[in-house]
Structure 1
Amino acid sequence: MPAHNAITPDKLTRLIGLPGSPRIIDLRDAPSEAIPGSRYPDSKDPTRWGRHGDTIVVDADGRGAAVSAAAILRSEGISAEVLEGGFAAWADAGLPTVSFAHLPRRHEDGGTWWVTRSRPKVDRIACPWLIRRFVDPEARFLFVAPAEVLTVAAQQQAEPFDIADERVFWSHRGELCTFDLMVEAFGLGAHAPLVRLAAIVRGADTDRCDLVPEAAGLLAISLGLSRIHSDDHAQLEAGMAVYDALYRWCRDAQAEKHDWSSHQPARGKVSA
């Protein structure tokens, strides 16, 4: 049983990567890897972190600054817990971590900035979803004309992605799409649900819908969204829900089947 006002790594791992995930505040200095979805406050004063929902505070071992920070947040009326055992316990349990080896520098607003081609379809929605859910919840995405991507990248110190240029790190590699590269480069290649999702994205994005059955469905939904939304950011927000659902299916819903009789009451029984 976890200590009072603490959450175990096993329980927290079931909450990451979801739209309703708790805010995870990492207090360690310049970590090279972290729990997916972690945030890094500019101020050491928890009262300046803003008012949010459920918060998990992480330090190295669960006995340091996280304890007092969580207590201060609770005094502000914010539900806050400490990760039991800190990041060390998370890493020792072999749970998913994000590597920052290829993470762009953060801007003054606290987030990384990224730029890609306008009118996204598959990869250019899947990659922002991955970044916001697992790498940097504060990330900002810029959509511009293809010929302007590198110019805007240089002007705004934004990281270019999913563009066919040998100078761009985040792009297709052989048969792999940009989403595949991000999963691997951010150290998430051992997280089975993302590996399953990557196959769906790859099939939909590279005209190989025979890779997995779900690829054709993702392609159809993606093309439909691109016709519904003329604004790229509105399309991104709508697409986030699509990838949230696919990720959750990849994580724990593959075994569930559905047909006309799947949810009918048992014969001879009347539903209440």
Structure 2
Amino acid sequence: MPANSVITPDKLARLIGLPGSPTIIDVRANSEQAVPGSIFRDVASPLTWARENDSGVVIVDSDGSAGASIAAVLRSDGLAAEALEGGFAAWRAGGHATVSLDSLPPRHDDGRTWWVTRARPKVDRIACPWLIRRFIDPEARFLFVAPGEVLTVAVQQHAEPFDISDDRVVWSHRGELCTFDVMVEAFGLADHAPLAHLATIVRGADTDRLDLAPEAAGLLAISLGLSRTYADDHAQLEAGMLLYDALYRWCRDARDERHDWTSHTPTRAKTSA
């Protein structure tokens, strides 16, 4: 049984991609792959980033040899902190999803990746930021601008353009795939079954192929409704995060559950004659 100061890979895997999950801090140098949702910090100065998240912190090192001591320092400062048992080596050995960092855009001086896309988002331009914040860079910044300004702003602000029709843009539709599909594949997450199923739903809603999944029509309807409910793109993104959190959790845990008038009615006890 693991100590209270560590978390097992299996337990952490159940928290990945969910709202309120712990902040995952990777202290390895020159990493090509990582636990999804990780942020990266200098191992030499843990107290400078101690107040990361009210939900707690998980430290990921290479093999578990350094994470425990860093977590202990953070706990001494009043933060709920654990080390990943066995480090990233144990995570990979357990067959858990990893995110490839090769395709990650350069980070700004603030340590965050910056992205830019067209204003008034509908499907892909909410789904992609959700994917990035939950699995790739939780601290990512998103800029919404007029369609004709995306590439100009990308250059001026050193932001990565996405979901715009231009051959120079890496993150956009490719054949029958939507931008969300392209990101899932490029960041090495295509084998994560819940995300793969979610990608099919997003593709159906975003490319007018509602036959791909029964849920695609519902996602399209809710997405269009959100777009008309919020005048501010960032407020819409925050609302959309909850939508995709719920849809991802359904893809992961609830696809076999059914609901009707009697499905959750408690069984009545038999009465004696």
TM-score by length of 2: 0.96
After TM superposition, list the pairs within 5 Å mapping 1:1-272 onto structure 2.
1-42=1-42, 44-51=44-51, 52-53=53-54, 54-64=56-66, 66-268=67-269
1:104·1:159 contact (CA, 8 Å) conserved in 2?
Answer: yes
Letter of the 1:55 counterpart: V
Letter of the 2:179 counterpart: T
| Secondary structure in structure 1 of the residue aligned to 2:212 | coil
- Which sections of structure 1, spanning at least 5 residues, go unmatched? none
- Which sections of structure 2, spanning at least 5 residues, go unmatched? none
The structure-2 alpha-carbon separation of the partners of 1:69 and 1:138, relative to structure 1 and needing over 3 Å to count, comes to same
| Secondary structure in structure 1 of the residue aligned to 2:59 | strand
1:57·1:82 contact (CA, 8 Å) conserved in 2?
Answer: yes
Letter of the 2:243 counterpart: V
Letter of the 1:165 counterpart: D
The structure-2 alpha-carbon separation of the partners of 1:47 and 1:255, relative to structure 1 and needing over 3 Å to count, comes to same
Distance 1:170 1:23 in 2: 26
Letter of the 1:166 counterpart: D
Distance 1:172 1:178 in 2: 5
| Deviations 1:241-268 (CA, angstroms, capped at 9, x unpaired) | 0000000000011111100111112134
Letter of the 1:258 counterpart: H
| Secondary structure in structure 2 of the residue aligned to 1:57 | strand
Cα offset for 1:4? 4.1
1:42·1:110 contact (CA, 8 Å) conserved in 2?
Answer: no
Letter of the 1:26 counterpart: D
| Deviations 1:66-104 (CA, angstroms, capped at 9, x unpaired) | 122100100011111111100001011111000011100
| Secondary structure in structure 2 of the residue aligned to 1:210 | helix
Distance 1:118 1:58 in 2: 36
1:43·1:49 contact (CA, 8 Å) conserved in 2?
Answer: no
| Secondary structure in structure 1 of the residue aligned to 2:211 | coil
| Secondary structure in structure 1 of the residue aligned to 2:78 | coil
Cα offset for 1:50? 3.8
The structure-2 alpha-carbon separation of the partners of 1:108 and 1:269, relative to structure 1 and needing over 3 Å to count, comes to farther
Distance 1:222 1:175 in 2: 20
1:39·1:137 contact (CA, 8 Å) conserved in 2?
Answer: yes
2:18·2:245 contact (CA, 8 Å) conserved in 1?
Answer: yes
Distance 1:269 1:175 in 2: 56
Structure 1 ranges of 4+ moved more than 6 A? none
Cα offset for 1:188? 0.2
Q: Which deviates further from its counterpart, 166-175 or 45-54?
A: 45-54
| Secondary structure in structure 1 of the residue aligned to 2:191 | coil
TM-score by length of 1: 0.96
Aligned positions, number: 269
Letter of the 1:34 counterpart: A
| Deviations 1:89-146 (CA, angstroms, capped at 9, x unpaired) | 1011111000011100111111100000000000000000000000000100000000
